[in-house]
Structure 1
Amino acid sequence: MKAIALDTYGSPDDLRLVELPEPKVAPGEVLIRVKAAGVNPVDWKLGASMLDAIMETRFPLISGWDVAGVVERVGFDATEFAVGDEVYGYIRKDWAQNGAYAELVSAPVRALAKKPASLSWEEAAGVPLAGLTAYQSIERLGIGRGDVVLVHAAAGGVGSLGVQIAVARGARVIGTASERNHEFLRSLGAEPVTYGEGFVDRVRELAPEGVDAVLDFVGDGAVRQSLPLLRRPGRVASIADGEAALDAGGQYVWVRPSSADLTTLAQLADAGELRVHVEKALPLAAAAEAWRLSQSGRTRGKIVLTV
């Protein structure tokens, strides 16, 4: 099969298109014919050894934890799916090696769900990691109807999905973003504010009594700067500044695979309450370009590779 791989830790320039054997399909797994693979910052961070302290990596490394595709083979005791099923998932395993930047990938059924019928392959591949991160952060804080929620990096891959999930649960959402993304946030149901110096005062103008919860999807001091806005201490979650969130009595979120949560996200999408903005869809061979775009930190929505 064709795949994009790294022979050792490196940069986008070290990615190469190679022929590799088909992955083995363990009990409780299925083999997926990949239609699209989502690109996330964790992909290039893992490839650059930035996660070496917390995750075992083996080479050649095929990156990619987000997949959308068709079940091609069913492993022993994987009764949840059948050949021909359209699925999507966040396919993180116990170590990193055989990811979704390939024509074929094996995945445990616990990390998969039926693909949302209303989404294209590219859109579906943009959901799993970002959507689960947003959903699980919102679940941890118990965000629901009547809450006023501040979402940092609201126009990004995680933030744009988090805005919509919170809105679908009846929350009022204020989102930080650059001015060029303000209209985009309004289209998702959020009230935009420009990030940077003075954003606390700008949020106060919209919510004089403060906010009920803070979702930090950017880091860079956002948690500590937001604490004066919280009506009740501790209702803060971060994926980028765990120390600050924990010090504030909040949550440090590292996304987990979950078939049940993916099913919930699919239901939101098919109900018209969750849409995915694909900023760029590139062919598999252009993975290096996709990594560079992700590294720029200026992407609205998602970057996807098509296979």
Structure 2
Amino acid sequence: MSAIPDVQNAWIVTRAGVPSKALQFKADWPVPKKLAKGEVLVKVHAAALNPVGYKIMQWMPGFMQKIPRIAEHDLAGEIVDANGTGFTNGDQVFGWISAELNGKTGQGALAQYVRMPADHLVVRPPNISPVEASGVTLTGQTAYLALDMAKLEAGQTIFVNGGSTAVGTYAIQLAKAAGAKVVATASEKNEEFLRTLGVDEFIDYTKVNLAEYLTKNPPSPKYHVILDAVGLINPSLYTSSEAYLAPNGVFMSTGPLPQKGWIAEFGDFIRTVTAILRPKFLGGTKRRYSVVLLGGNIRAALETLQKYLADGSVKPMVDSVFAFEDALKAYERIKTHRATGKVVVKVDPAIN
């Protein structure tokens, strides 16, 4: 193992704004060699982008962000300083840095080295490459926790809105592994892709208004779980759900966040929040609405994903791979909202 350098290349958030304006490439960023108890130093092989990464830098006021900080959250790499934890130098790992931790420590995935808690990492199965593993954690955990919170069981049916999103692809695979029936939406060009993941029924969302379509064509039996992996800002899929979601079912969302900006979609956001909070006795929707929030036992979720990856029950989906110096192009890709799977930045050009 080569010596750990004092400085490194990193993409740094230097201001609030869109990635092309907020990010700067630094070739002299300090390597965080001083570790606290329970932390490890990871040489990053690949990092995957997430919508939360650019949305925080773009929409959160600068005074509320930690600036400067290294961008992004998901990564795969190699332990280069195990620091007395359960890992050994040379272990191949994958994991994540939460938005909270990113804001607190300034550590992020778009750098050659990162200091992070050991319990935010697990060993990468040898059948999964660093590029594939880099994008597992945030979206995989979100899908896992959504199904766990919804208590999805074998024989039940889940409706996944946004089946070709990164969260959607993991939700489909985890639901099939649990023995559930899966109905999913995407555009027509992604139907074959979703069928290969195990989708039982497919709906092209570009050809129908989903709330109206499902109300006129309710499933029998009704869905036990609806997972909105898109994070719709419009509340209609939820407010109409009594027609197609079982009385004891649950509507899960990755969080109603605008795609075009707060100003353009603020009205829809207020309507969604009002619909969620309106009591049933005042005309509110008689179905439970829950937002998937990462937390709790992070290690348990990671180990479950690790197991499914190792036995082939879950396969990571990679949309595209960009060189480290082309990270801004990677952000352009993820912001199209057309990626099927993860957009990955290869930090170490030597890895596969």
Q: TM-score, normalised by structure 1?
A: 0.91
Counterpart position of 1:269: 309
Counterpart position of 1:94: 101
Aligned to 2:159, what secondary structure does the other structure show? Answer: strand
Counterpart position of 1:161: 170
Q: Kindly provide the CA deviation profile for residues 34-92 of structure 1, in whole angstroms up to 9, marking residues without a partner as x.
A: 00101000110111143879xx53222211110100001123xx522111111111222
Question: Of residues 9, 23, 29 in structure 1, which corresponds to 2:16?
Answer: 9
Which structure 1 residue ranges, 5 or more long, are not aligned?
none
Q: Kindly provide the CA deviation profile for residues 191-238 of structure 1, in whole angstroms up to 9, marking residues without a partner as x.
A: 211125343565575833321111111113333344421012451211
Counterpart position of 2:289: 250
Amino acid at match of 2:96: Y
For the pair 1:238 / 2:278, whether they are aligned, the reply is no
Give the Cα–Cα distance (whole angstroms) in 2 for the partners of residues 180 and 118 of structure 1. 29
Aligned to 1:48, what secondary structure does the other structure show? Answer: helix
Amino acid at match of 2:60: M
Counterpart position of 1:220: 233
Amino acid at match of 1:48: Q
Amino acid at match of 2:302: L
Aligned to 1:220, what secondary structure does the other structure show? Answer: coil
Question: Of residues 45, 68, 77 in structure 2, which corresponds to 1:35?
Answer: 45
What count of residue pairs does the alignment treat as equivalent?
303
Contact residue 282 and residue 306 of structure 1 kept, 8 A: yes
State the 1:107 CA deviation: 1.1
Amino acid at match of 2:344: V
Which structure 2 residue ranges, 5 or more long, are not aligned?
1-7, 257-271, 279-286, 348-352
Counterpart position of 2:339: 299
Q: TM-score, normalised by structure 2?
A: 0.80
Give the Cα–Cα distance (whole angstroms) in 2 for the partners of residues 178 and 52 of structure 1. 36
Q: Kindly provide the CA deviation profile for residues 2-26 of structure 1, in whole angstroms up to 9, marking residues without a partner as x.
A: 0011211122222221020012422
Counterpart position of 1:80: 86
Amino acid at match of 1:228: A
Counterpart position of 2:264: none
| Aligned counterparts, 1:129-148, within 5 A | 129-148=138-157
Give the Cα–Cα distance (whole angstroms) in 2 for the partners of residues 86 and 246 of structure 1. 45
Q: Kindly provide the CA deviation profile for residues 252-284 of structure 1, in whole angstroms up to 9, marking residues without a partner as x.
A: 112237122111111111111111121111111
Question: Of residues 206, 210, 214 in structure 2, which corresponds to 1:199?
Answer: 210
Aligned to 2:343, what secondary structure does the other structure show? Answer: strand
Contact residue 223 and residue 238 of structure 1 kept, 8 A: no
Distance 1:223 1:80, change over 3 A: farther
Contact residue 127 and residue 310 of structure 2 kept, 8 A: yes
For the pair 1:68 / 2:107, whether they are aligned, the reply is no
Aligned to 1:212, what secondary structure does the other structure show? Answer: strand
Aligned to 1:232, what secondary structure does the other structure show? Answer: strand
Aligned to 2:326, what secondary structure does the other structure show? Answer: helix
Q: Kindly provide the CA deviation profile for residues 158-212 of structure 1, in whole angstroms up to 9, marking residues without a partner as x.
A: 1011110011000000001111111111000012111253435655758333211
Counterpart position of 2:4: none
Aligned to 1:250, what secondary structure does the other structure show? Answer: strand
Counterpart position of 1:58: 66
Contact residue 134 and residue 159 of structure 1 kept, 8 A: yes
Contact residue 217 and residue 239 of structure 1 kept, 8 A: yes
Larger Rg: 2
Give the Cα–Cα distance (whole angstroms) in 1 for the partners of residues 220 and 109 of structure 2. 46
Report which stretch shifted further, 131-140 or 21-30.
Answer: 21-30
For the pair 1:107 / 2:116, whether they are aligned, the reply is yes
Contact residue 46 and residue 52 of structure 1 kept, 8 A: no
Contact residue 91 and residue 112 of structure 1 kept, 8 A: no
Report % sequence identity: 31
Contact residue 147 and residue 171 of structure 1 kept, 8 A: yes
State the 1:287 CA deviation: 1.2
Give the Cα–Cα distance (whole angstroms) in 1 for the partners of residues 60 and 191 of structure 2. 32
For the pair 1:290 / 2:330, whether they are aligned, the reply is yes
Report which stretch shifted further, 91-100 or 131-140.
Answer: 91-100
Distance 1:206 1:269, change over 3 A: farther
* Structure of greater relative contact order (alpha carbons < 8 Å, 6+ residues apart): 1
Contact residue 211 and residue 240 of structure 2 kept, 8 A: yes
Distance 1:52 1:267, change over 3 A: farther
